[in-house]
Amino acid sequence: MSDSLIALEHPTELQHHFADMEQQKNTSTFGMWLFLGTEIMFFGGMFAAYLIYRRWYYNEFALGSRSINIWLGTINTMVLICSSLTVALGVRAAQMGKRKLLVTLLLITMVFGVAFLGIKGVEWYQKYEEHHVPGSSFNASDLVSVGQKYGIHINQAHSQIYFSLYFALTGLHALHMVVGLGIFTVLTYFAWKGKYTPEYHTPIEIGGLYWHFVDIVWIYLFPLLYLIDRKPFH
């Protein structure tokens, strides 16, 4: 068996250990789904901690939640949902072999991703200025006085647990966004080079899966962290 014969039988994108493109695609996609399963467990540990402490320290969680800028959170939710739309359209463009459209949609997705991180940064900075970042300079006396006004006792240490979970969850989510942006930079480069065709665009689909997953995590984080109790005080 000469190399040229193998090259004739195998498309260039087909790795040596797969029988055909179909098998390669199924394998890669399945791998990503499993990886996302592990990600659910990864965030799951923190959701378990959240569940327990929210039950124990509901008042602190509710007032902590109120102190976060809801408009930034809402805008960010919309930004991410829009980015999921552009990813889905991008996969469609790849399937139809529209290279320019694909590159444009990938770039728009990345703009949304960067915007999300920027807005997140503003939100974190506000928390920093309010001394709500857990650590030695943490101070939730503002929440204590809000609580006093409405006859709710607030324990600052418990508020710190809320903000610890807030920063751990949003921080790890943001880290996943950064990884996603890295993946999409590579995808955009190869899309621009014309590597993806209607026959071969598995990386776009798999990268898209990852992006959608990170979005879905946010869809859970938003109500859990921002919307615990927003109704007006009586």
Contact footprint for other proteins (CB under 8 A): 15-19, 23, 26-27, 30-31, 34-35, 37-39, 41-46, 48-49, 52-53, 56-57, 134-136, 155, 157-158, 160-161, 164-165, 168, 172
CB atoms within 10 A of CB 135: 10
Which of 16/234 has CB closer to other proteins?
16
Least Å from the CB of residue 202 to other proteins: 13
- Which single residue is written with the structure tokens 């990813």? 87
Amino acid at 74: T
Q: Which residues contact 27 (CB under 8 A, 6 or more apart)?
A: 18
Rounded distance between C-alpha atoms, residue 159 and residue 59, angstroms: 9
Which of 68/161 has CB closer to other proteins?
161
Dihedral-angle region of residue 151 (phi above 0 means left; psi in -120 to 50 means alpha; beta otherwise) = left
Least Å from the CB of residue 28 to other proteins: 8
3-class state of residue 80 by DSSP: helix
Least Å from the CB of residue 10 to other proteins: 12
Which of 158/201 has CB closer to other proteins?
158
Least Å from the CB of residue 101 to other proteins: 30
